[in-house]
Structure 1
Amino acid sequence: MFRSRRTATAQPAGAPAGRTVGSTAPSGVPTAAELARRSRRRRVSRAVRRVLHRIRRLFTSYISPLGWAVAVSGIAALAAFLPLGWHELLAYGVVAMTMTLAAVIMSLGNTSFKATIGLPRRRVTVGDTVAVRVDIANPGRTPTANARGDLPIGEMHERFSIPMLAPGQSKQTDVEFRTLSRAVLSIGPLRIRKGDPFGLVRHEKRLADKLDLFIHPATVPLKTLNAGLARDLEGQPSGDIVDDDLDFYGLREYEPGDDVRNVHWLSTAKTGTLMIRQYEATRRTDTALTVSVNPEEYASAGEFELAVSIHASIGVRCLMQDRPLSTHAGDAHATPRHAMDFLDACSMITPDHDDNPNLVEGTLTHDPDASFYFLTVGSLRELDSIKRMALALPKSASTLVLQASEGAPRAIRRFPDFTLATVGELDDLPLIMGVLA
């Protein structure tokens, strides 16, 4: 603590004892001058710390380990040349220091760029072409130096040159690529790099954050899925007109063989003709959609992708019909409401060796009362294993097992507890679902 100074002065008569004339601060309280000195010291201390931080950052961020090795070894060689007189040390020291100096000069320049990354579409399908737009501008008042742009695209890096930009000038670079596989692809962050070709000095700056590109699996359009439990009070109208159900549709004239219990007597009395009630078939449509993600169940990576495409195609059709849907893929369990959200989730499906081989265990935990169960499995799944899974499902529900077997002929086999469909290629799915609808 600082102590306030006291000044011994004469006190006029009548002044209170113990008080100093002209003093406004009591004992132990810093004066205004002392507070000002403290403030100046704090400002100086902060400025020194900032300078030291920038110097430390300069030496640790801009100079690479190789640059430090070349510079230190060059200085050591020159220092050793003086007592030893070896011209080899002199030559190495001169070359090393020349390279270091050239690297520093080449890394200098204004790199105050401003950049943005743009994607015309954030959601695409496997096989589509994606165009990434990179806009780089110079918002400053001085020209910028040449630099290199580095744009990560997944595990790849797209590198391009950035020319000198005058104040207010901008440059647009388009990076195009074709999507080859389903994934959630990270694009960015965009960085600029400036330095020497030897890698001794580097200057790197982050300009734009990353974007996520959803690459959806390939899908095929399916016709209306009417499979479910008929005559369910909580079901939805299916569009099929029947003579006996819960949802009244209209009247028609009597035909031989019609059940007389369906005669609408009031209309018959008015028209003089026997009139029969007609109903629109209602079906409960709670659907559980499960896909196996264990790679040991599939003969190839292409077969795994076929299974995901089957899973996605059926899910999209269910959501387009407004059927309540729950999806299961490994540890991911969801109840999507929109087809786009469901396809985004399909883009994230990855193989998992630890996936539970009993697919219905997780499905029944989250969805025990569905009216229809779709199970998508690989070609290496044995028939006995499929039968055991189907036995665990509710007897009141319908079960369809779709076995992805790349290149195999399409086939449908009916068993007492389930139906097994073999899908050799994605275009087989509409034909199979059309037969089973």
Structure 2
Amino acid sequence: MEIAEAGERRIDWAARAMPVLHAVGARFAAERPLDGLKIAACLHVTAETAVLMGALGAGGARIALAASNPLSTQDDVAAALGDYGIAVHARAGVDRETYYRHINAALDIGPDIVLDDGCDLVNTLHTERVELLPGVIGGCEETTTGIIRLRQMAAERALRFPMVAVNDTRTKRMFDNRYGTGQSTVDGIMRATNTLLAGKTVVVAGFGYCGRGVAERAKGLGARVIVTEIDPVKALDATLQGYDVRPMAAAAELGDVFVTVTGNRDVIRGEHLVLMKDGAILANAGHFDVEIDVRALEGLAAAVHRGVRPSTDEYVLPDGRRLLLLAEGRLVNLTAAEGHPAAVMDMSFSAQALAVTWLVREHQGLEPGVYDVPPEVDTEVARLKLDAAGVRVDTLTPDQEAYLHSWRSGTA
């Protein structure tokens, strides 16, 4: 707790760049839409998350928070949140057993609402804490990986309550996934390795919004970018944007830096690792540590040198080639850096907070399943962000409004 003061300073700094969430929190404080509700959250315990917790608390919620990644917790922020009266179960660098113990401790609150980032909390609730399911009215999911798992649960009729796909809003995908992941991933790679990206070949696995953001940032810093994809439409998009698109087997021997951003497992496997050049850097920006086959890497290595740089382990192959694994194959942007800039998380977390109040209002009419955030919530977040930036936009005239809602009008 002696580091709580440093955490408070970090939270205050993040809050400066989060005017939308500040406005939402002020509204919550006045209206108290969450009075009497208990929220169990499994999110990255960062300064930006702390601002979200403050807004939900201002709305009257009682909150228990666990970390959604064993390496991403900012310990000073966790300490500060404890001072704010939020039950925090998180510490940086915990093992798998402690990670899940923390999730279970957050669930001990007996939640009405759950907030998840990767679906580990919801999964634990459905497999180990089923006695709590009747009390849950719904929840929100923040990541692509989590949405994939939730949709599969819904398809198998295993999901027992409604979940809102916050990740799938336009403000989340276009700005958080693209600009946030792009900048913070490159930031993590550079902090960990101090490498110069200009002139390097960067291989980006996956060309969704996150992969597109990483590719754009790397290209902007002077790197040659190769994209690998399984989706023909995304591969075509990357090709028409000027990127070199190849299978991973063909890209493996060319890359200097590899970044996985797919939400799937074993994207870089042993068959790829054996082709890589000396000094190749391996980084993951997908949610879980399964995109790079770390076990295969350990099996191939003749020696492993831990911590040759911050968040950097060196694996030496029998022929002397060295492969550099960042952040143990976990999220490089939250382990080696500080995650998305606060200005980006301002929109994602505002959408999350407003989605919670929508759930509270509408849950009785919702069946178990995965729901999109209502478009009006997404639009409100964007409008508040523009207002905070002093940006004005056009509005439709009555004639324009009528034209858009009529099928009779055509060529003048």
Question: Common fold, TM-score beyond 0.5?
Answer: no
Q: Compute the TM-score of the two structures, normalised by the length of structure 2.
A: 0.21
Q: Which has the higher contact order (CA 8 A, sep 6+)?
A: 2
Task: Compare the two structures and name the one with the higher helix fraction.
Answer: 2
Task: Compare the two structures and name the one with the higher strand fraction.
Answer: 1
